[in-house]
Structure 1
Amino acid sequence: MFYKKLNDATEFVAGDHTKLKEIMHPLHDNVSIGYSLAHARVEVGQASLPHQLKGSETYYILDGKGEMHIDNKSFEVNKDDVFLVPPNASQYIKNIGQKDLVFLCIVEPYWQEEEEEIF
């Protein structure tokens, strides 16, 4: 069994400039899973840096309004939207709303710094 409160996770600025709280990661928590789960936040008017991961990334938008860019496509995202970023796709997300853009991010296989490239 695993249990953690979001408020117990420390927020930090990730390499792509999103504000992250790592919720569950097999290398840092006592869990045997093949993915990692993070809570992310992009402030009003800000965007993550373009980047790509070797694995896939699933986003679930919790609050706010954003514009997601994956390779040469872009689309608006809002609360309760879910989408998958395929492995090796160039991506970034921009907050186009009036409040923080907040989302959960599942990375599979679990996130590792050496498997992410920032542009």
Structure 2
Amino acid sequence: MLIKDLQNCKAFVAGDNAVLRELLHPDKEEVKFRYSLAHAVVKQGETSHRHTLKHAEVYYILEGKGIMYIDHESVEVRPGQAIYIPPHAIQCIRNVGQDDLKFLCIVEPAWRQEDEKVL
């Protein structure tokens, strides 16, 4: 059985400037799936850097309020919403709430630094 505790996952600042903690990644754990799962935080008043990924991604909003930008569209997002981000889409998310914006990032196949381009 594999159980990962968020508090025991090392935090790091990703290329898009969000604070990430990787929960599950097939290159780092003995798991039989191709996706990666990370917990992300964008601090109050901040915006992640515009970037693209080679593969599709899903954000699942846990806490806070933000505006999601994908290519030429933007929409307000809130807890309980899942956002599909197509491969190669220009994306960023802005925290417009009073607290940290927290969300899960699911990338399939698993996120790799060489698949991301910060604009």
Q: How big is the shift at 1:64? A: 0.1
- The alignment yields a C-alpha RMSD, in angstroms, of 0.6
Alignment: residue pair count: 119
Tell me, in whole angstroms, the C-alpha distance in 2 between the residues paired with 1:42 and 1:52.
Answer: 17
AA matched with 1:86: P
Question: What is the alpha-carbon distance in structure 2 between the residues aligned to residue 83 and residue 21 of structure 1?
Answer: 19
Q: Write the mapping of 1:36-55 to structure 2, written as runs, cut at 5 A.
A: 36-55=36-55
**CA distance, structure 2, for counterparts of residue 32 and residue 50 of structure 1:** 31
Aligned to 1:15: 15
Give runs of aligned pairs for residues 1-119 of structure 1, distance below 5 A. Answer: 1-119=1-119
| Deviation string, structure 1 residues 1-60 (Cα, Å, up to 9, x no partner) | 321111110111001100000000000112121100000000000010000001001010
Gap runs ≥5 in structure 1: none
TM-score of the two chains, using structure 2 as the length reference? 0.98
- TM-score in terms of structure 1 length: 0.98
Runs (4+) of structure 1 exceeding 3 A deviation are none
Please list the CA deviations of residues 84-118 of structure 1 after superposition, one character each: whole Å capped at 9, or x if unmatched: 00001000000000000000010011001001000
**Identity across matched positions, percent:** 50
